[in-house]
């Protein structure tokens, strides 16, 4: 059993690609409904839940820059806009499930979404509302993993939970290497030194500095989020 009893406030990082559920459309209603159920279970445990969502199901800034020749700064801003679209979709799904949700963006577009203000975000969390952070960090050259680490640090989260399409961190790509070893726990220094690509190095370095534990787990396994919050051995725990 892991000690997760102190995880009063968590930040959940969801990739944009996860929202389409492998379909050709940007969103999958079953995935959105599943995410709402997972968040509801965490709230029922009296946890405060913040979310950072990526934009890769719509636009990946780095790919636009490398594959299509779009200026990197422009491409990254396009990616940030994609996270706002995803944030709106996720907010709608959570609200439809009866979960009071607020969406804040690092990019200023007040007709569409409220601006990111730390004090308001913390107040919403303390009032039992879910807060979704969109727009990345608001700056180019930084990933949404870094945005997740930054927001988690700013709001005083006790843990960062990264939902992925694999059930933890492996010594190498399990899709390519049948002998890849899955770690139950792993020091962040090892993840950085071995370049395991769990999160980008900037995000991991910030989590290490802030002594913020990171759980990596499989998104599509129902009940995993609640299991982690109960201290069960799900996924991989990156330690500081």
Residues 189-219: b if buried by 16+ CB within 10 A, e if exposed:
eebbeeebebbeebbbbbbbebebbbbbbeb
142 annotated as belonging to a binding site for a ligand: yes
86 annotated as belonging to a binding site for a ligand: no
79 annotated as belonging to a binding site for a ligand: no
67 annotated as belonging to a binding site for a ligand: no
13 annotated as belonging to a binding site for a ligand: yes
- Under a CB-based contact definition with an 8 Å cutoff, are residues 107 and 82 in contact? no
14 annotated as belonging to a binding site for a ligand: yes
Q: What is 89-128 written as a DSSP string? A: HHHHHHHHTT--EEEEESS--TTTSEEP-HHHHHHHHHTT
Show Cβ contacts of residue 170 under 8 Å, excluding neighbours closer than 6 positions: 180, 181, 182, 183, 196
146 annotated as belonging to a binding site for a ligand: no
185 annotated as belonging to a binding site for a ligand: no
141 annotated as belonging to a binding site for a ligand: yes
164 annotated as belonging to a binding site for a ligand: yes
236 annotated as belonging to a binding site for a ligand: no
158 annotated as belonging to a binding site for a ligand: no
The residue among 117, 160, 161, 153 whose CA lies nearest residue 135 is 117
143 annotated as belonging to a binding site for a ligand: yes
Q: CA-to-CA distance for 16 and 132, rounded, in angstroms?
A: 13
95 annotated as belonging to a binding site for a ligand: no
Tell me the three state secondary structure of residue 41: helix
66 annotated as belonging to a binding site for a ligand: no
16 annotated as belonging to a binding site for a ligand: yes
DSSP 50: E
213 annotated as belonging to a binding site for a ligand: no
Q: CA-to-CA distance for 96 and 171, rounded, in angstroms?
A: 40
184 annotated as belonging to a binding site for a ligand: no
Binding residue positions for ATP: 13-16, 56, 60, 164-165, 170, 173
Binding residue positions: 13-16, 55-56, 60, 76, 137-144, 164-165, 170, 173
Binding residue positions for UMP: 55, 76, 137-144
């Amino acid at each position: 059993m892991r000690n997760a009893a102190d995880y009063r406030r968590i930040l959940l990082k969801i990739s944009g690609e996860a929202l389409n559920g492998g379909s050709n459309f940007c969103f999958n209603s079953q995935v959105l409904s599943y995410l709402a159920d997972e968040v509801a279970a965490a709230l029922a445990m009296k946890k405060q839940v913040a979310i950072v969502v990526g934009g890769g199901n719509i636009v990946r800034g780095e790919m636009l820059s490398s594959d299509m020749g779009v200026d990197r700064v422009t491409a990254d801003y396009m990616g940030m806009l994609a996270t706002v679209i995803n944030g709106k979709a996720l907010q709608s799904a959570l609200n439809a499930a009866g979960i009071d949700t607020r969406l804040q963006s690092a990019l200023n577009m007040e007709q569409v979404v409220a601006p990111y203000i730390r004090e308001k975000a913390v107040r919403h969390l303390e009032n039992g509302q879910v807060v979704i952070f969109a727009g990345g960090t608001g700056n180019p050259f930084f990933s949404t993993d870094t945005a997740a680490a930054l927001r988690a640090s700013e709001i005083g989260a006790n843990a960062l939970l990264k939902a992925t399409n694999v059930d933890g961190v492996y010594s190498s790509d399990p899709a390519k290497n049948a002998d890849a070893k899955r770690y139950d726990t792993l020091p962040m220094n090892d993840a950085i030194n071995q370049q395991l690509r769990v999160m980008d190095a900037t995000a991991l370095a910030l989590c290490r500095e802030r002594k913020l534990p990171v759980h990596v787990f499989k998104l599509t396994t129902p009940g995993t989020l609640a299991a982690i919050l109960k201290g069960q051995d799900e996924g991989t725990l990156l330690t500081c």
